[in-house]
Structure 1
Amino acid sequence: MSENSDSDDERWLIVKGRRWRRTDPTLEPSVIEELKSHLGAARNAVKQAKRRGAENDLAEARRRVNVAKHGLGERGEYWWEMSVEDRRRRAETALNELR
């Protein structure tokens, strides 16, 4: 077992053998909830755009998914390598872009 196994459990979620980055745990619950709401809406928009074959809408929906995932710390720079202040700023920037 590695020295970082506890912190690795906080950082990664394993689903069907695939490793996914967890949401930044230092974010306020209300921020996480709002970002996840935007993420869900964007994922639904991706599905709808694919169904309609609307390439421009699909690109915009995927961009919104990406912004929300960055805000949650699930993409981009690893949240555990950033200061808490920078992590919170990243989430607020994402929210401002998605509102």
Structure 2
Amino acid sequence: MHPTTPDGRYFVVKGRLRRCSKPLISYENRQRLVHDLMEARRAVKEAKALDDKDKLHAARAAVDEAKFALGERGPVWWDDGSPDYNRHKAINTPYADWYHLIDEQQ
């Protein structure tokens, strides 16, 4: 389990913020989208193993589509005007103090 920012917008992997999925997606829809994402990731792995550029392009597009639908990419899902810090180092964002606290606890 990766630590999640207090506002629930990001989780941290290797010191970088990653945007969480939209919280208002229904459980059933989220399950379907996560299934689609995992299928697409497996397709990426298969296309790489086959060295098939066309399949790889299609698989990566499917990953992107699922991530957009989940809210992990594209426009932010919050509406308070806060900027997006997706993929930023946590220490270089307004979450730096929070990150230092959780980093010390680990």
Q: By the TM > 0.5 criterion, same fold?
A: yes
Of residues 41, 45, 67, the one that matches 2:39 is 41
User: Deviation of residue 44 (structure 1)?
Assistant: 0.3
Q: List per-residue Cα deviations over 1:35-77 (Å, max 9, x = no partner).
A: 0000000000000000100000000000000000000000000
- Number of aligned residue pairs: 76
Cα displacement (A) at 1:16: 1.5
1:12 paired residue among 10, 13, 25: 10
Unaligned runs of 5+ in 1: 83-99
Partner of residue 57, structure 1: 55
Larger Rg: 1 or 2? Answer: 2
Name the SS of the counterpart of 1:27 in structure 2: coil
CA drift at 1:18: 1.2
The match for 1:97 is none
**TM-score under structure 1 normalisation?**
0.73
Cross-structure match for 2:76: 78
Distance 1:80 1:13 in 2: 15
TM-score w.r.t. the length of structure 2 is 0.68
Unmatched segments (≥5 aa) in structure 2: 81-106
Matched AA of 2:76: Y
In 2, Cα distance between equivalents of 1:6 and 1:18: 15
Q: What is the identity percentage for the equivalent residue pairs of Structure 1 and Structure 2?
A: 38
